[in-house]
Every structure is written in C-alpha cells, then in structure tokens.
Homo-oligomer: A and B are copies of this chain.
C-alpha cells in the first residue's frame, strides 16, 4: 500500500509541496485558510511525515537512545529501568519522539553503540545511566557532541548535564530512623562498587554512622543480583555480633535478604530490620512488606527526558535535582528485640 506524501497533499490541495511543508510545520508563508485546508486533507488521508526524509533534510531524527548495561538476568527483575522507560515515554510520546533501546555488555560496547548511532544519525541524543568515576563514555559524548543527559550523581560528568538525586540526605534519613528505633549495629549491602551512586551512598553511610557514633557500620559490596544479596546477607548474619538492621541498595537484594533471614529462622522485623533502597511493587509484595526509600522513578525519567529534549533543541541545560527520596515505613522495620 502506497503511503501518502506531501506531494499527494499538494496535488489535492492544488498547491506546491513547499506550501504543504510550511503549513504542516506551522511556518509562516501560507494563509490561515490554506493551512486549514492542507491540515484537513492531511488528516483525512492519514498523512505521517516520513521520518527518514525528515531526518535526511538536516532536521532531527526524532528519536533518543538508551542503553541497558546490566546483565540480562538482572534487567528483567529490577523495576528501575522499566520505571525509567515509562517516564521517558510519557515525555517522548508527547513530542512524538521514539525511544531506541540497546542492550550492551560493557562500557566499551556502549561507547561503540553511541558512535554508531551518531554516525548513522539514528538518534538526536542519549540518556546515560550508571555513571562511574572517570567514566569513559563522557569524553566520547563530548567529542562527538551528542546531546546527552546523565541520570545519577552528583559527580563529575564534565559538560554533560546530570539529573541527580539527594542520596546522601536519604541515607542519613534512613540511618537516623533506624537509630531512633533503637538500632546500633547497622550494616549495608551495596550495589556495584564502581558506580558513582554506590560510592555516594557508601560515603554518606559512613559519615552519618560516624557522626552518630556507630563504629561497626559495615558495607558489603554486592552487584544488585539476588544471589549476591543472599550471600552478603548470610555473611552478615552468621557473625557473632550480627547487625540488627540492614540497608540494601536495591529491592531485589532486600527481598533476597529477607528470604535468607526467614530461612535462618530469624524473624523480620523482630530479629532483623530491613530497609530497601528504591521502593517498588516488589517491596510491598513480600511478607512482611519492606520499609523502603521511595522516589518516583517514572517522574525521574520524565524529567531526564525533558532536559534531554531541551538540550536537543539547542538550549543550555544545567544540572537539576530530581524529586526527593523519602522513607516509606512498612512492616520490615521495628525496634530490635
């Protein structure tokens, strides 16, 4: 089936291609009457501008890219990315931008994807997640001048704007809450240590624990998977001086930790309190439901998409703070027995 083009509209309206283009794009150069006529014809025959033609003539590709860099088995279960994606879509859909996805296995592969996307002019910008210290992606993005927005921080992302969240403040809130309940031995199971936000959280955790006089505050590094979460939890719980509360860096590890406690015959929250970072339906799904540090991930994604579209439009975009993280107390935290 033949797709309608602006030439078809032009013929039916009795004007030139150029006039149709002006009319459809809201440019001056056609009268209101003609514009209306053209728009109604376009509507009637179901016209959609060919994205390739549009992209080719110097305009935008009207697509943004996102790479998913976690191992496949984790991607599925962690609600984080899907939450982000929903958020992006809300913004992108409104301006009919498409979202192009690519699963990558390493930062090097990710850089290659960026270079290829740029070379192919397939996308107008990218959203970068999981930043590391001295991230190799930053200089490449700066070199090829691909509009980008970093999700995460605060941290050094060169000239690329970041949408950061106040992880330090949230960590402080969580630890203070546990201490107020009466906990003294608080441990933490972190995500991949190389990631900037793991480092931010670790630093904040150590600082607040020190300021509150909790000396044996330990962070065990893990990798966000359930298996590592279980292992780290076992390590913490078999010790003689086991913690009475554990803060996990994601929901999946927290749920795994809960299962380990139950399997060891420990009662949650009686013997062990659990706090999950990044709330998700998963947290309220288990028994007892998990106290969590919540934030609106979709809104976070939407904000990032907005800033990216802004950058693509050539506007100057600065760093911005995402919505606040707040503590949602549920059944997994209580005073220690």
Contacts and interface: CB of A to CB of B under 8 A. Distances in A.
A3 B99 contact: no
Given A285-B252, A285-B255, A287-B259, A98 B122 contact: yes
Nearest to A289: B259
A7 to B, nearest CB: 14
A212 interface: no
A81 B225 CA distance: 18
Contacts of A281: 73-74, 76-77, 225-226, 252
Interface stretch (A85-93, A195-203, A214-222, A239-247): A85-93
B77 A121 contact: no
Interface stretch (A14-22, A48-56, A128-136, A321-329): A48-56
A82 B76 contact: yes
Interface stretch (A29-37, A111-119, A148-156, A182-190): A111-119
A76 B72 contact: no
A79 B260 CA distance: 22
Nearest to A262: B287
A175 interface: no
A282 to B, nearest CB: 5
B101 A99 contact: yes
A246 to B, nearest CB: 16
B86 A103 contact: yes
Contacts of A263: 287
Given A72-B298, A82-B81, A280-B76, A144 B1 contact: yes
Nearest to A281: B77
A119 B77 CA distance: 35
Contacts of A289: 259
A258 to B, nearest CB: 7
A330 B3 CA distance: 54
A160 interface: no
Given A82-B75, A103-B93, A281-B226, A48 B258 contact: no
Contacts of A68: 85
Contacts of A210: none
B51 A120 contact: yes
Contacts of A38: none
Interface string A90-112: 10010010111111000000000
B48 A120 contact: yes
Interface string A31-72: 000000000000000111111111110000101000010001
Interface of A: 1, 3-4, 46-56, 61, 63, 68, 72-77, 79-83, 85-86, 89-90, 93, 96, 98-103, 115-116, 118-122, 143-145, 225-226, 252, 255-256, 258-260, 262-263, 280-282, 284-287, 289, 297-298
